[in-house]
Amino acid sequence: MSHKRIPKRRAAMAAGGVVALGAAAILLPNANASQDGGSSDDAAPRTLKAADASDLAARLAGLLGDTFAGSYYDSDAQQLVVNVVPGDDDRVVTQAEQAGAEVREVDNSMGELRSGAQTLKSEASIPGTSWAIDPRTNKILVTADSTVTGERWDRLESTVEGLGSGMATVRKSAGTFKTFASGGDAIFGGGARCSLGFNVTAGDGSPAFLTAGHCGVAADQWSDAQGGQPVATVDQAVFPGEGDFALVTYDDPATEAPSEVNLGDQTLPISGPAEATVGQEVFRMGSTTGLADGQVLGLDVTVNYPEGTVTGLIQTDVCAEPGDSGGSLFTRDGLAIGLTSGGSGDCTAGGETFFQPVTTALEAVGATLGGEDAGAGAGEEGGTGDDSGAGAVGGAGAGGDAGDGSGAGDAGGVGDGSGSGDAGGAGDSSGAGEAGDGSAVGGGDGNDGLTG
């Protein structure tokens, strides 16, 4: 493992994985890719970085009102595409074009799509299913894993058909939706192994970190070594329900908690949080599979895990495996996007992975991420966040052993989506709380330690 020493005090556990990856070098050299700005008087779509596209989409959603029907980032053209439903007033559409977006007329309004999603929630909250509004198709994308068969599949299909023609599509996933659990080295609590997502500052100014909520409900105290003394204590945790996140505070208030992701042979400074955008390129770090990349496929996703329903997640095609849960999702230019929640498949056959948005987690727990000590470097370079990252997916299997993954999805399945399922039992190493993974660990000797 590649480590960086921090003198003085105990060092915090660093975000990301501990796998040494030569391919990680692709992230930093390209962080200063330029942006073509386009004149404000030019109605042609502008070339935008993914982060700028997200900001523009938020502004246009307010401007367009009920005409707005979603948006996504075209990573090939580096442009924001905004969906609108035809109306009597074309002036707002013209304003959207002048702002630099490519405007596309669609049939389904956001109100209709959200109503369809609500129907799915009330009538088809079946374990092993998920759904999200897909702005690229202007439909609800419904995914069913391999456990959804027989009567449950018929129920799902019937509900989708009842939404009407052109409202939703259903596809099958070969894997099984679960929180990614594993045994191995990362952070440990009550027999569970999980990963640190991002170091943050709690509302009272104390050093802390974010991780997956299914880890936070598994154990109250966490150590940087298996069987070691606790170094951090869970302050807040949510899972299942409206998210999958936990705030864990370091027991030593003098802990140095750098805002960075460890890439194995280098670190990437994290300048702050950012909203995800459909079509955006993202990277994930985990101790089992190392560094992987892909695209955001959906936002505000509902996932029906065996432990209960979780809402408000990000769906991606980034692969992950047992041992990657809780790890960091981030952009090329150092923006924190999400925390690994769960999914299906693996990094051989592929699959889908769901992430807790960092922005909503920070707001819920009252913490902050980034700042003067975190922003130097990548966050200021203005990286595109959208250049091809295929070469960055490497080093899978170089990290911690996947272990036996015991019990990730076997705790108290809830079929009605009420979110009341057992999250694995604090301290019970056989429950869902064994969701594993991928963070570097630090600080073993009291005076100096590791960033990861």
Which active-site residues does the annotation give? 214, 244, 325
CB burial string 47-56: b at 16+ within 10 A, e below:
bbbbbbbbeb
Cβ pair 438, 263 in contact under 8 A: no
The candidate with the shortest Cα–Cα distance to 407, out of 391, 386, 423, 420, is 423
DSSP-derived pairing of the beta strands 129-134 and 290-305: antiparallel
- CB atoms closer than 10 angstroms to residue 227: 6
Tell me if residue 109 falls in helix, strand or coil: coil
Cβ pair 274, 51 in contact under 8 A: yes
DSSP-derived pairing of the beta strands 79-84 and 102-105: parallel
Q: Cα(80)–Cα(386) distance, rounded to whole angstroms?
A: 12
- 25, exposed or middle or buried, with CB in 10 Å at 0-12, 13-18, 19+? middle
- CB atoms closer than 10 angstroms to residue 292: 28
DSSP-derived pairing of the beta strands 272-273 and 267-269: unpaired
CB burial string 153-191: b at 16+ within 10 A, e below:
beebeebbeebeeebbebeebebbbbbbbbbbbbbbbbb
Q: Cα(163)–Cα(168) distance, rounded to whole angstroms?
A: 7
One-letter amino acid for residue 431 of the chain? G
Contacts of 161 (CB under 8 A, 6+ apart): none
Q: Cα(281)–Cα(54) distance, rounded to whole angstroms?
A: 12
Radius of gyration of the chain (CA): 21
The candidate with the shortest Cα–Cα distance to 426, out of 252, 215, 228, is 215
Q: Cα(230)–Cα(188) distance, rounded to whole angstroms?
A: 8
Cβ pair 367, 262 in contact under 8 A: no
Q: How many CA atoms lie within 13 A of 234 on its CB side?
A: 24
